[in-house]
DNA sequence: AAGATCAGCAACCGCCTGACC
DNA sequence: TGGTCAGGCGGTTGCTGATCT
């Protein structure tokens, strides 16, 4: 078997299992006061009978103050699915693009979803062959609707959505390119990324607004909080893969900031585009 | 009401990688 | 250059509460 971590060796008598509130408090207050220099030394310094790896995991997945927690929004769910298509099981990379979510959280979410999908697939294939599914299960409304939806082929042509106010703002300011690199970070520093399309770098609140609005079916009033950039040529056309590839390639780009209007049509269009591109 | 099943979540395990000696 | 170690990651397991039968 694999090599056992020295910090996890039996002789150290480390505790395992769920963390108690007292342990959480000790770890959190220690990191708050001294920060993290060496995980392996933290258990001793914080007075914990845990191995360093366990402390790190607890901090990264649960105690970190910037964690969002709570259920995934539809928006986040769509992003995860799209990112998984692009990046595979690189949970840490996916998590890096979803602010406030840990890789473990995303992985768990995905595995739960995947398990469900596989079950549903098995059920549907066996039911088409034998059609002996229990009536109760058959009567569940749209049991497979979600899976079917996501397996739809992407449209052959993607027209990037540019909100009118964004296009107007770009036109009014005379912006002819994605030139606000300071706000967009390295994403716009990538020449391939600066080709076209509009990105609204919204704050987290706008993200939540959009998610909430998408659920309620109400189109939110968009607010420009940082910067906008518009297509160089046509506000509603001719966007190439470079733009989106750059998003995938650049871990500093937060997908939670990608502008999504409450309009389900546009939302779906963007996601369909994502799902139709392999980013190999 | 009780047992079975499911879903969500937390945590562990084993492997890989890079830094250091 | 090879060995050791710590950190990080993905896969997996096990627990718990909710829901179903």
Whether A65 has a pLDDT exceeding 50, the answer reads yes
pLDDT tens for A237-254 read: 333 344 455 555 555 554
For strand C, which residues in window 100-129 of chain A come within 7 Å by CB?
103-104, 107-108, 111
pTM (predicted TM-score) = 0.56
Q: Which CATH superfamily, name and number, covers A12-65?
A: Homeodomain-like (1.10.10.60)
Nucleotide nearest to A119 (CA to C1'): B6
Q: Do domains A12-65 and A70-123 have the same CATH topology?
A: yes
Architecture field, domain A70-123: Orthogonal Bundle (1.10)
pLDDT tens for A172-225 read: 333 333 333 333 323 322 322 322 222 332 333 334 434 433 433 333 333 222
| Average pLDDT of the residues in A84-102 | 84
The answer to whether the beta carbon of residue A57 comes closer than 7 angstroms to any atom of strand B is yes
Per domain, the residue ranges of chain A are 12-65, 70-123
Quickly give A206 CA vs B13 C1' distance in Å. 40
For strand B, which residues in window 117-156 of chain A come within 7 Å by CB?
119
Strand B bases, protein C-beta under 7 A: 7-16
Whether A235 has a pLDDT exceeding 50, the answer reads no
Q: What is the 3-state secondary structure (H, E, C) of chain A?
A: CCCCCHHHCHHHCCCCCCCCHHHHHHHHHHHHHHCCCCHHHHHHHHCCCCCHHHHHHHHHHHHCCCCCCCCCCHHHHHHHHHHHHHHCCCHHHHHHCCCCCCHHHHHHHHHHHHHHHHHHHHHHHHHHHCCCCCHHHHCCCCCCHHHHHHCCCCCCCCCCCCCHHHHHHHHHHCCCCCCCHHHHCHHHHCCCCCCCCCEECCCHHHHHHHHHHHHHCCCCCCCCCCCEECCCCCCCCCCCHHHHHHHHHCCCCCHHHCCCCCCHHHHHHHHHHHHCCCCC
pLDDT tens for A4-61 read: 444 554 445 678 888 998 888 889 888 888 888 788 888 888 888 898 889 988 998 8
| Average pLDDT of the residues in A53-81 | 84
The answer to whether the beta carbon of residue A91 comes closer than 7 angstroms to any atom of strand C is yes
């Amino acid at each position: 078997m694999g090599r056992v971590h020295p910090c996890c060796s039996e002789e150290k008598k480390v505790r395992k299992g769920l963390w108690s509130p007292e342990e959480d408090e000790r770890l959190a207050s220690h990191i708050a006061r001294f920060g993290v220099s060496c995980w392996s030394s933290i258990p001793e310094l914080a007075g914990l009978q845990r191995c360093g790896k366990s402390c790190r995991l607890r901090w990264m997945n649960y105690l970190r103050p910037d964690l969002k927690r709570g259920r995934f929004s539809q928006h986040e769910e769509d992003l995860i699915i799209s990112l998984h298509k692009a990046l595979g099981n690189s949970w840490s990379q996916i998590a890096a693009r979803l602010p406030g979510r840990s890789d473990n959280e995303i992985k768990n979410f995905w595995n739960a979803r995947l398990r469900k999908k596989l079950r549903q697939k098995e059920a549907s294939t066996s039911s088409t062959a034998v059609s002996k599914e229990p009536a109760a299960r058959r009567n569940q409304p749209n049991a497979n609707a979600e899976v079917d939806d996501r397996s739809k082929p992407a449209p052959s042509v993607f027209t990037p959505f540019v909100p009118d106010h964004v296009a107007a703002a770009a036109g009014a300011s005379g912006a002819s390119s994605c030139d606000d690199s300071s706000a967009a970070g390295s994403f716009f520093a990538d020449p391939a990324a600066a080709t076209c399309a509009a990105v609204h770098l919204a704050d987290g609140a706008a993200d939540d607004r959009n998610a909430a609005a998408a659920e309620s079916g109400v189109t939110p009033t968009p607010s420009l909080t940082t910067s906008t950039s518009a297509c160089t040529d046509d506000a509603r056309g001719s966007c190439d893969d470079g733009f989106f590839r750059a998003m995938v390639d650049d871990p500093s780009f937060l997908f939670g900031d990608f502008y999504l209007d409450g309009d389900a049509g546009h939302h779906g269009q963007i996601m369909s585009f994502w799902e139709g591109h392999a980013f190999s």
